[in-house]
Structure 1
Amino acid sequence: MARPESGEGGAGWPGWAKLGVSALLVLHGTAVVAAVLAASPSSGLQRAVADQFRWYYQLLDQGYTYRFYTAGAPPTPILFAELEFEDGRSEEIRVPDRSQAPRLRFQRHLAIAYHLFEDVRRAPRDPDTGDSRSRWAASYARHLCREHPGCRRVTLFLQDHLNPSPRELVEAAREGRTIDVEDPRYYGDRLRIGAYSCDD
């Protein structure tokens, strides 16, 4: 007795859909390879090719991610928020915070710090106070005000967390010791972004 058709070999994708998906995969693969090759040290040509995909990296919010996981990664921006409360106490928040779990939450907070760093770098500064006019920083300060009842003022800072040099890593490995990356010498100076009143 013949078995009924299982339907596993049903109708395939139309030709235009196959071409569209194939084109998207080629675009994405090329963008990924270009970003990895443009990481320092790289040639002017490699950086120029990666620049052609800048719109794509910004669209996916992945412009910094490939550089972070390649050799010679740039310093990691750390966001510090000083919260002042109406009762006189204060609290400091660090983003990202290494104690956060699950790890994906830490990764998302790392993305916040990178995004804020880029926005502050592009934003103009107030000629009177020297504070950044970053709208993204102001938005994040408003979020912190809402999340912390009784907070009257938020002051934001950025600080570079530097990486040990390859020479330091090699020397430490030869001597069988570890490097404390939380040592103060691996932190740059704090850059004040601005102070934001929770009443605004």
Structure 2
Amino acid sequence: MNHLAHAYLSFRQPELIIGNLIADFVKGRKNMADFSAGIQQGIRIHRAIDSFTDQHPVTAKAKLFFRPSCGLYSGVFTDLVYDHFLASDPERFTNDSLYSFARYVYNEVKQQSAVLPPAFLEMFEYMQAYNWLYNYHTTAGISSSIRGVARRARYLKTDGSIVFAVFMEHYAALKTCYQEFFPGLQAHVENLLQKENR
């Protein structure tokens, strides 16, 4: 899953949000120990989300739409478009509540910035400046995100406009994948948190 899903599945718990967002920038047990117990829990939840997502048969089905044009990057773009469908899911967000949630997440990150990995903070500047979490809900916003990822993907030979065209061509089918997948992911995370917090 991508940034919005990781933040959303932290259930407005500040340290979970931080850990969930920085996890890809934290390597090994030594670096984990640099953070509070709550942030460490967020890092573990991030990794559990990624593992559940990568192993899920619906995600495998969604990746097939991108594989011909993206190869090994099909999972990256599947994660990204899942965030689009989450952002535009009327059962989870209105336009106003998505905007407010994005501002809330950015504020929580800024409050903890002194202890966060520099590489994460460099990315976060762009996330906040271009309001990624909010702009995922529009096709223009997701187009911009897809093109940005495609530009930064060192071994991707496909132009971002082609990836976006694949997304639009299979929009309905990918949305169905999200709808089949996301409730199970949320239940999985809620169950993990209940077990950890006992």
What TM-score does the superposition give when structure 2 sets the normalisation length?
Answer: 0.22
Question: Structure 1 length as normaliser, TM-score?
Answer: 0.22
Structure scoring higher RCO (CA < 8 A, sep ≥ 6) equals 2
The structure with the largest strand share of the pair is 1
